[in-house]
Structure 1
Amino acid sequence: MTSASELRSGKTHKDENFPVASWIIHPRHRELILAFYNFVRTADDIADHAELGAAAKLNYLDLMESELLGQGDSQPEAVNLRRALAARAMPPRHALDVLTAFRMDVTKQRYETWDEVIHYCRYSAMPVGRFMLDVHGESTATWAASDALCAGLQINNHLQDCGKDYNALNRVYLPRDALAAAGAAVEDLAKPRASAALLQCLQALAVRTEGLLIEAKSLSAEVKDVRLGLEVAVIQAFADKIVGLLKVRDPLCDNVHLKPLDLALSSAGGISAELIRRIIGRRATAKPAPRA
């Protein structure tokens, strides 16, 4: 059996819509985060592989899981993550959750409702945020806001890549009921530009995704680790910028990805706003109580 590493697409953490183990994060966490990323990226590439059949994909995902759980040493990404987690005495539950999403990618090509898409996000995206919070020792009370942010990031990506997902994989994450409500058809995704009905559907979904990002606004303040709080603020700034593009542009023919200058400005803005919020908050906390 070919090593899963040989099935990688070539995409790395530097190609994502959000920072992965960036310079903001403390160096002591980066090795574990990158081990988690490489495991997830490998499994994602398996699920999306153009030449593998469904049975072969599921077999590879099962192998990744078994080796993550200690049953074998032939898949480097699984072994590296297993060892990195063991060094921190952390369970593999978030990585196992993500494998559930990739199995869904292999076996499920259509989603009926928004709730079905959110259910997919529960396994594809939310575990990533929960993992990051666990790495930093944050409370599970932060999970609700993190889940909203991660779902927003995931659906942003679905909207950005809706044409590519349909044409390359025959996979559609746009809910059927949303398409029907707008009078759009799945086949519209094959066109070089969105029909008026499809564009209405896509932009309505972007507005709904913006609601998730609004729910997530409290996360950076809920996080105690300063560096992680800054990283969250940057990710939120990226997500807000992307959803703003999706609300007014056609992802089938327009650019709905951030350019290097956009990334730099959003990063600077997110970091600055979060630092100011934390400094003001610290001063307010330190202010002595008035005398009776």
Structure 2
Amino acid sequence: MEGSGLPRRRHGTGRLTRQETGLGGAVETPSGKTAADENFPVGSWLLPAAKRPHVAAYYAFARAADDIADHPALTPDEKVTRLVAFGEALETGGGDPALFAKAHRLRASLDATGVPRRHGLDLLSAFRQDAVKRRYADWAELIDYCDRSAAPVGRFLLDLHGEDRALWPATDALCNALQVLNHLQDCGGDRRDLDRVYIPLDWLAERGGDVTDLDRPAATPALRHAIDRCLDGVDALLDLARPFPDALRNRRLAAESAVIVGLAERLTARLRRGDPLAQRVALSKGDFALCGVTGLLRGLLAPRRAMPATPATAGLRR
């Protein structure tokens, strides 16, 4: 995130040599995680076949950058250096193609489709922030992060399918809701493995809690309060996103979006009832099957409707 106080590149050329990357000259630090491991569909068969390779290129780029930000053996400065170099490769086509293959692949995809590079660069801004920022003071800070770590995915998909950018506030809301839900699911692991806390600290403090509440085997009253407040925020985001699939022109994208809305609603309900510290709170195969069928029917058969007049996503940050 430019101008945010993040560490600057140490090398004036902006190029990352094999000697400077560490880890045997590699830039990427693959975790082995794939689209199949995600909570929500990523480029599923519901999307038009011609679009799926471009979605795959975007996901591979995002996955590689996220893995760098999460790598436990790299210092924050090393992470930022690699992520800045990824951004330069995406913007300029420079850098060693062997080191930045996923950035070069996404650049070619974006050039072929006319989708702006900002949707990849915004992700890198969020991942650079992950390298150096471990706490979020309030909901507004968290949503600012989600606006760069999650919202670009929906904007990319809308631009890829030629949809109206007037739908950006709705897709931002949906993607940001998904990101918050993921953070709530993983709150214990994020604290334990990365010392990252995406729970707003002010909501923890309202009941006398702090980040150490996340070190417990079960949620304390303070953490439960903060989780529920986050879920209230998710509900507000989903209220904005719920009509969104019916406004899409591309019915296959509408079907996938409807599936995702349904899954988000069900995961929200499960997190209301469950304790993410005591056990993994996750969607079941039945959830996926039910939302798959209902989303498919809604996306393919429901009449197209304009989005109702609603506040912009920014209005939900207060």
What TM-score do the two structures reach when normalised by structure 2?
A: 0.85
> Could you tell me which of 133, 153, 157 is aligned with 1:132?
157
Query: Once the 2 structures are TM-superposed, how far is the Cα of residue 127 of structure 1 from its aligned partner?
Result: 0.6
- The 2-side partners of 1:167 and 1:224 are apart by 43
Query: Once the 2 structures are TM-superposed, how far is the Cα of residue 181 of structure 1 from its aligned partner?
Result: 1.2
- Letter aligned with residue 70 of structure 2: D
- The 2-side partners of 1:207 and 1:189 are apart by 20
Query: Once the 2 structures are TM-superposed, how far is the Cα of residue 91 of structure 1 from its aligned partner?
Result: 2.5
Query: Once the 2 structures are TM-superposed, how far is the Cα of residue 255 of structure 1 from its aligned partner?
Result: 3.1
Query: Once the 2 structures are TM-superposed, how far is the Cα of residue 276 of structure 1 from its aligned partner?
Result: 4.0
- The question of whether the paired residues in 2 share the 8 Å contact of 1:129 and 1:147 is answered with yes
Q: Deviations over 1:18-63 (max 9, x none)?
A: 1111000001001111000000010001000011111111111011
SS in 2 for 1:131: helix
Which position in structure 1 is the counterpart of 2:134?
109
The count of aligned residue pairs is 279
- The question of whether the paired residues in 2 share the 8 Å contact of 1:4 and 1:42 is answered with no
**Superposed CA RMSD:** 1.4
Is 1:37 aligned with 2:37?
no
- Letter aligned with residue 86 of structure 2: M
> Could you tell me which of 52, 57, 60 is aligned with 2:74?
52
> Could you tell me which of 221, 225, 229 is aligned with 2:246?
221
Query: Once the 2 structures are TM-superposed, how far is the Cα of residue 263 of structure 1 from its aligned partner?
Result: 1.3
Which position in structure 2 is the counterpart of 1:26?
48
Which position in structure 2 is the counterpart of 1:289?
none
SS in 1 for 2:115: coil
Which position in structure 1 is the counterpart of 2:282?
257
Q: Deviations over 1:180-200 (max 9, x none)?
A: 113222101011111122112
Which position in structure 1 is the counterpart of 2:263?
238
Is 1:170 aligned with 2:192?
no
Call closer, same or farther: CA 1:268–1:51 in 2, change over 3 Å: same
Unaligned runs of 5+ in 2: 1-20, 306-318
- The 1-side partners of 2:255 and 2:171 are apart by 14
Which position in structure 2 is the counterpart of 1:192?
217
- The question of whether the paired residues in 1 share the 8 Å contact of 2:203 and 2:225 is answered with no
Query: Once the 2 structures are TM-superposed, how far is the Cα of residue 67 of structure 1 from its aligned partner?
Result: 1.0
- Letter aligned with residue 206 of structure 2: A
- The question of whether the paired residues in 2 share the 8 Å contact of 1:110 and 1:172 is answered with yes
Structure 1 residue runs of 4 or more that deviate by more than 3 Å after TM superposition: 273-276
Unaligned runs of 5+ in 1: 282-292
- The 2-side partners of 1:200 and 1:176 are apart by 11
- Letter aligned with residue 228 of structure 2: Q
- The 2-side partners of 1:64 and 1:231 are apart by 29
- The 2-side partners of 1:209 and 1:190 are apart by 24
Q: Point out the more displaced range, 223-232 or 257-266.
A: 257-266
Is 1:183 aligned with 2:208?
yes
- Letter aligned with residue 223 of structure 2: L
Query: Once the 2 structures are TM-superposed, how far is the Cα of residue 260 of structure 1 from its aligned partner?
Result: 2.2
- The question of whether the paired residues in 2 share the 8 Å contact of 1:61 and 1:103 is answered with yes
- The 1-side partners of 2:27 and 2:44 are apart by 25
Which position in structure 1 is the counterpart of 2:27?
4
